[in-house]
Amino acid sequence: MSPRALPSVRFTDRLRGSPTFRRDPLAFLSRGRERYGDIFRFRTLGVPMVMVNHPDHIRRILVDKSAQYDKNAFLFKAVRPVLRTGLIANADTAQWRRQRRMMAPHFTPGAVGSFARNMTTETVKMLDRWERYPRDGRVIDAMDEFGRLALAIVNRSLFSADVSATAQDFERAFGVANSILAAFFRRPFPPLSVPTPGHRRLRRAIDAMDSFVSGFVQGRLRANADTDRDADQEPDLLTLLLHSVDEEDGSGMGLERLHHEVLNLCVGAYETTTNALCWAFHLLARHPDAEKRLHEEVDRVLGGRIPRFEDLPELAYTRMVVDETLRIYSPAYQFMRHASQDDEIAGYRIPAGSNMLINSYVLHRHPDFWDEPETFRPERFGAEETARRPRHAYIPFGSGQRVCIGRHFALTELTLVLATVARTHRLVLPADAPDVHPEALITLRPRGGMRLRLEHR
């Protein structure tokens, strides 16, 4: 049987008051799924999109046929002026593979174990900085605080860099770029070369992020020229990249590309982890039973001491809280692939050139795979329930060859930060706290920020 044409969101649906993708992508896609099922098409800004929302379709695109679904998609074209040739948006598969092969050894579970001490040390420093807050009743801006923490951890671990003096410049610039780039999906944009006020702001934000990275890359190059400091030290990722030579063609990485990779790691690690920490503490503050179970586990396993990498298997409930947070508020909630050739999925024709949209916010609420999807229930990540679900029903880090390189890093960091804080403190919602809703930018951040108050346990 020849493949059918995909069901398409009809104009009349919009007239019936359904939100558009541009105005509210999460509501639009959720309604689209209810009405049309796990695969349907729509257009936004004249660009044809195919929404796929079934684990089998997602496995086909990201794993089985990954070679024909590349990163020349609308979303990655939009973020490429910031990320350039780095891993995240690179659509040149040969170049991407070469870079990924060089970097992968620094991201294995074993390599990540050696960063665990940095993760807890930076968290304890943050708690020291917060020392007077419980007494003063001070409310923290959790995005700001966890942003500083996430940047400190990734830069200390991978590049041995102390970024405490410049972290805020990066955070501000990233915030500007995130909202300007997200607007690409809401209204037609002239090319970036046209100097509109928005484009000038984006240019300044990119320059600020570049200076942040150059600050420590150039510093390291000068230090290496002055001394032989790398000789007697464990090489960090920056040293490795500076000296990296491709095993196939013997060439090095080149300073420009190295700069892009470092920036991609900062961008990839920063907002995703920050958002995950904000949402995790927000969910715990709203679910005292889960918080109590977390405290019991942390007390039993740690007995008051700071967690170590070796404690992770014992911190099973803490890890379930992390997994459930990444299900409900998947920080990198939306990504795309470009179909480089015709295909057929579930009997439907997928024409070459389609932008395949994968939205984990909607997928992680699929009623066939999740009971009461809006309910925060970490226990659903217990071994038995997990084994009953298809692997691709849960993809906070993507899947296949382009799966997040930092996933072990992130899971280790999130679990250790949660346990380190929960040992001594809890974060509660301030009395006048408004409901917090997600804002679907390039990442899923809390709209209007997240305010939390610190208490001693």
Applying CB under 6 A, among 31, 77, 100, 389 the residue interacting with ligand HEM is 100
Structure tokens at 129: 């900085």
Smallest separation, CB 430 to ligand HEM (Å): 25
User: Given the complex with ligand HEM, which of 402 and 453 has the nearer CB atom?
Assistant: 402
**Binding residues with ligand HEM: total (CB under 6 A):** 23
User: Given the complex with ligand HEM, which of 322 and 428 has the nearer CB atom?
Assistant: 322
Q: Does 147 bind ligand HEM (CB under 6 A)?
A: no
DSSP string, 335-399: EEEEESS-EEETTEEE-TT-EEEEEHHHHTT-TTT-SSTTS--GGGGSHHHHHHS-GGG--TT--
Applying CB under 6 A, among 112, 154, 284, 417 the residue interacting with ligand HEM is 154
Restricting to residues 157-216, which ones interact with ligand HEM according to CB under 6 A?
none
The region of 280-288, 301-309, 398-406, 419-427 touching ligand HEM under the rule CB under 6 A is 398-406
**E-assigned strands of 66-118?**
69-70
Restricting to residues 399-438, which ones interact with ligand HEM according to CB under 6 A?
402, 404-406, 409-410
Smallest separation, CB 123 to ligand HEM (Å): 15
Smallest separation, CB 408 to ligand HEM (Å): 9
- Spatial distance between the Cα atoms of 99 and 219, rounded to a whole number of angstroms: 23
Phi first, then psi: give them for residue 334, nearest 5 degrees. -150, 125
3-state secondary structure of 263: helix
Q: Provide the residue count of the chain.
A: 457
Applying CB under 6 A, among 88, 151, 161, 253 the residue interacting with ligand HEM is 88
Applying CB under 6 A, among 7, 351, 373, 398 the residue interacting with ligand HEM is 398
3-state secondary structure of 52: strand
Would you say 321 and 334 are in contact if contact means Cβ atoms under 8 Å apart? no
Smallest separation, CB 110 to ligand HEM (Å): 15
Nearest-CB residue to ligand HEM?
406
- Spatial distance between the Cα atoms of 418 and 303, rounded to a whole number of angstroms: 15
First and final C-alpha spacing in the chain: 64
Structure tokens at 268: 């990839």
Smallest separation, CB 404 to ligand HEM (Å): 3
Q: Does 83 bind ligand HEM (CB under 6 A)?
A: no
Applying CB under 6 A, among 32, 307, 378, 396 the residue interacting with ligand HEM is 396
Structure tokens at 404: 């997040």
Applying CB under 6 A, among 52, 202, 269, 312 the residue interacting with ligand HEM is 269
Query: Nearest to residue 413, comparing CAs of 288, 257, 316, 269?
Result: 269
Q: Does 273 bind ligand HEM (CB under 6 A)?
A: yes
Applying CB under 6 A, among 26, 61, 87, 429 the residue interacting with ligand HEM is 87
> 339: Cβ–Cβ under 8 A, 6 or more apart, which residues?
50, 68, 69, 350, 351, 352, 353, 354, 355, 356
Smallest separation, CB 265 to ligand HEM (Å): 5
Query: Nearest to residue 84, comparing CAs of 192, 241, 201?
Result: 192
Q: In this structure, what DSSP letter does residue 233 have?
A: S
Applying CB under 6 A, among 51, 52, 265, 362 the residue interacting with ligand HEM is 265
Angstrom CA distances, 322 to 295, 377, 427, 443, stand at: 14, 11, 16, 17
The region of 22-30, 136-144, 267-275, 282-290 touching ligand HEM under the rule CB under 6 A is 267-275
Q: What's CA 23's distance to the chain center, in Å?
A: 22
Restricting to residues 308-367, which ones interact with ligand HEM according to CB under 6 A?
331-332, 335
User: Given the complex with ligand HEM, which of 13 and 210 has the nearer CB atom?
Assistant: 210
Smallest separation, CB 348 to ligand HEM (Å): 22
> 89: Cβ–Cβ under 8 A, 6 or more apart, which residues?
71, 76, 79, 80, 83
The region of 16-24, 111-119, 272-280, 362-370 touching ligand HEM under the rule CB under 6 A is 272-280
Smallest separation, CB 209 to ligand HEM (Å): 15
Smallest separation, CB 76 to ligand HEM (Å): 7
Smallest separation, CB 393 to ligand HEM (Å): 15
- Spatial distance between the Cα atoms of 146 and 284, rounded to a whole number of angstroms: 16
- Spatial distance between the Cα atoms of 160 and 153, rounded to a whole number of angstroms: 10
Smallest separation, CB 137 to ligand HEM (Å): 30
User: Given the complex with ligand HEM, which of 36 and 397 has the nearer CB atom?
Assistant: 397
The dihedral over CA atoms of 35, 36, 38, 39, expressed in degrees to the nearest 10, equals -150
Applying CB under 6 A, among 44, 118, 272, 355 the residue interacting with ligand HEM is 272
Residues that bind ligand HEM (CB under 6 A): 87-88, 100, 154, 264-265, 268-269, 272-273, 276, 331-332, 335, 396-398, 402, 404-406, 409-410
